[in-house]
Structures are given as structure tokens and as C-alpha cells.
Amino acid sequence: MAERVAILGAGAMGSALTAPAVDAGNEVRLWGTWLDDELVAAVQAGAPHPRTSVVVDARVRAFGCDELEAALRDATIVVLAITSDGVLDVLAHAAPHLPAGAPVVITTKGFGRDDGGRVGVIPPRLEAAVPGVAPVVAIGGPCKANEVAARRPTASVYGCRDRAAASRAAAVFSTPRYRVEVSDDVVGLETVAAMKNVYAIALGACQGLAPRGGEPWHNLQAAVFARAVAEMAVLAGAVGGRHDTAYGLVGVGDLEVTGLSGRNKVYGERLGRGEAPADALREMRDAGQVVEGVPAAGLARELAAQLAGDGHLQTGVLPLLDAVLDLIGPGADPAERLSAACLPPAV
């Protein structure tokens, strides 16, 4: 069933999702925010997208920032491929033009704060902020944008409290190369997706230890990996989701790829090599590289405190999160700190 798909946000992930969307036979529009002018111009010129190096399919129509209404006209499904700090704003602008009852799909990850200052995942906040908006479907799973754009095989997970909405969105994007698993555990999915960026810093730190001694620290890295999975499962359960979400594509799968490459892993690697955390972060920021795991770690600590206060989480069950928070502060020794957090207790 072909639909009219409007993808809002022309960055790496937004532009990448045009590939399965057109391949699946839909009419696809791509709208760029006020930050995306250069990206939209590249798409309109048929040039490689600056973030993925892949040329967006010529059947995709690209819209500039002032063409939001046109991009959304008669759309039957909308995707918000917007970072967590901008997604609410874009949704507010788009709300009057959204198709009634159709799912709103988001690629947004991470934790946010509601008006009362409480930390939580994004989908319930969007649904609460724009009353009458359709159910929010969150995309999770191991999904590097440039590989989706290049049509390399990808397994994704679409989560929504309304499973039928997730299934509908999944059907719109599914192709032989981009396959979608459907889940109703949207809070677990978003929590695990945010935490994997935090834990990728720790995996990167293990990789950074190698150059110091000349030999890999694979045993420690593996212990960190297993500890990360355990903590993602605990948190998924504490927020009202399922432990299993941490054991599947969204958890172990995405942690694997995020620990292999990406900015969180690179930042961790620099910490492992002994660079000062603040200096490494500033240098990466100056190079335009946002390390999402750093703010996510701070918010996760707040979330854990909230959950403990509500009786949903015991204290002391997230030693690796605590270790990452120590590592991104000054003075912690990565090997010692990660060993203390991730090796089993003395018998």
C-alpha cells in the first residue's frame, strides 16, 4: 500500500530513510529544518548528501525550511528525524498539518525533561505536548544512517504503545534490505537506545587502553559489554518496559555497532588513552561532533534517582553508569574504574 511519506529533518537519518521509503513504493518528501539548507540544496541538486555521501533517490522531493506546509500536504505518514533538543519545536510547527490518526514516527533518541523537570523518554512527552497527535512510533535498533542510505542490510525496531500503529509504520518502510521488527515496548526501546550511547563510551575506553600497553584489553571490554547489557535490562524494566528489549536488536545489537564506531566510542577511546575528559569533549565539540552519551549519562543518573524514589529501582544496581560518570569527570583511572564496576565481586 503506497503512502505519502513526509520526512521532517534532512540530516543523515532523515535522508537515509528516504531509501527504504521510496524502495517500498511510497511517494516521499524530505523537509529540511532551518539548519538543513545546505543539505536540502545538495539533495535538490542530485549531489551526494553531505552526511551520508549517498545521492538521495531522484524520486524524493526535497523541501526547504519555509515549505513545511507543502511538504506535509496530504501526507499520510510523518517521520520526525530531529534531534531531541529540536523535536518538540518541529512537532509544534507541524501539528496543524498532521494527518489525523496516522502514526508519527520519530528517530529521536535520548532522555528529555518534562515541564515539571522530571527526566523521561521522548515519545510520551510528544504525545502529551501536542494533544490529539497520533501515537508516536520510535525507531530503534542498530541502524547507521549511511548504511541505510546505501541500502546495506539493516534490521530496525519500531516501537509504539499502540502495536497496530507500529505495524502500520513498519509496513510503510519495509524492504528486503531494510527489515523492521515491531514492538510495543516503546519506553524500554527508547531507554535502552539512550543508554547504549552511555555504555559505548565505556567500550571505547577499553579500546583506548590498548595503545598504552600495546595489547588489547578484550577481557575487560567483554566484561564491560556484559555489564552494560545487564544495566540496560534493569533500566528497561524500571521504566516500565521489558528486560528482553535489552537482549535483542535494540540492546545487544545496537550496543555492538555503537561500540565499534561513532562519536561516543571515539570519545571513550580518548578517555582510555588518558586524555583529559573536558579537553577531549571540547575538541570534539569544536569539530562539530556531539557526544550524545555525555548528557545522556547525566540525565540517566537523574532518572535512576527518580526511579529509586518511586520504588522502581534499587540503589547500587548501575555501577557501570556510575563509572562512566566518573570517567567523564576528572581524575578517574579508566582501567581501575571499569574493572571495579564490571568484574564480579570478590568471592
- Per rule CB under 8 A, is residue 44 in the interface with a copy of itself? no
- Per rule CB under 8 A, is residue 230 in the interface with a copy of itself? yes
Say if CB 173 and CB 180 are below 8 A apart: yes
Residues 48-107 that bind a copy of itself (CB under 8 A): none
Q: Which is nearer to a copy of itself, 284 or 335 (CB)?
A: 335
Give the other-Cβ count within 10 Å of 25's Cβ: 12
- Per rule CB under 8 A, is residue 42 in the interface with a copy of itself? no
Using CB under 8 A, which of 254, 269, 292, 326 touches a copy of itself? 254
| Number of residues lying near a copy of itself (CB under 8 A) | 57
Catalytic residue, from 109, 144, 196, 265: name it: 196
Which residue, chain included where needed, has cell 567523564? 328
Q: What's the CA gap between 221 and 335, in Å, rounded?
A: 10
In the bound complex, what is the minimum distance in angstroms from residue 245's beta carbon to a copy of itself? 11
- Per rule CB under 8 A, is residue 163 in the interface with a copy of itself? no
Using CB under 8 A, which of 64, 188, 248, 268 touches a copy of itself? 248
Using CB under 8 A, which of 260, 284, 308, 317 touches a copy of itself? 260
For residue 196, indicate whether it is catalytic. Answer: yes
Using CB under 8 A, which of 44, 146, 289, 306 touches a copy of itself? 146
- Per rule CB under 8 A, is residue 261 in the interface with a copy of itself? yes
Which residue, chain included where needed, has cell 516500565? 240
In the bound complex, what is the minimum distance in angstroms from residue 167's beta carbon to a copy of itself? 7
- Per rule CB under 8 A, is residue 185 in the interface with a copy of itself? no
- Per rule CB under 8 A, is residue 148 in the interface with a copy of itself? yes
Q: Which is nearer to a copy of itself, 233 or 297 (CB)?
A: 233
**Residue 257 CB burial class (10 angstroms; 0-12, 13-18, ≥19):** middle
Indicate left, alpha or beta for 291 from its phi (over 0: left) and psi (-120 to 50: alpha): beta
Q: Which residues contact 137 (CB under 8 A, 6 or more apart)?
A: 103, 104, 105, 106, 158, 159, 160, 165, 166, 169, 186
Residues 276-315 that bind a copy of itself (CB under 8 A): none
The C-alpha cell at 307 is 526511579
Q: Which is nearer to a copy of itself, 36 or 254 (CB)?
A: 254
What's the Cα-to-Cα distance from 72 to each of 40, 56, 67, 79, 110, rounded to whole Å?
A: 16, 19, 9, 10, 26
Residues 326-345 that bind a copy of itself (CB under 8 A): 335, 338-339, 342-345
The C-alpha cell at 55 is 545521492
Nearest Cα neighbor of 60 from 26, 31, 28, 38 is 28
Using CB under 8 A, which of 3, 23, 36, 147 touches a copy of itself? 147
- Per rule CB under 8 A, is residue 347 in the interface with a copy of itself? yes
Nearest Cα neighbor of 122 from 105, 109, 104 is 109
Host H or E run for residue 105: strand 104-106
In the bound complex, what is the minimum distance in angstroms from residue 243's beta carbon to a copy of itself? 9
Q: Which residues contact 76 (CB under 8 A, 6 or more apart)?
A: 3, 4, 5, 99, 102
Nearest Cα neighbor of 276 from 321, 331, 322, 323 is 331
In the bound complex, what is the minimum distance in angstroms from residue 142's beta carbon to a copy of itself? 3
- Per rule CB under 8 A, is residue 15 in the interface with a copy of itself? no
Where on the chain is the footprint of a copy of itself (CB under 8 A)?
141-144, 146-148, 150, 152-155, 167, 170-171, 174, 176-177, 179-182, 213, 215-223, 225-226, 229-230, 233, 247-249, 251-254, 256-257, 260-261, 335, 338-339, 342-347
Query: Which residues does the annotation mark as catalytic?
Result: 196
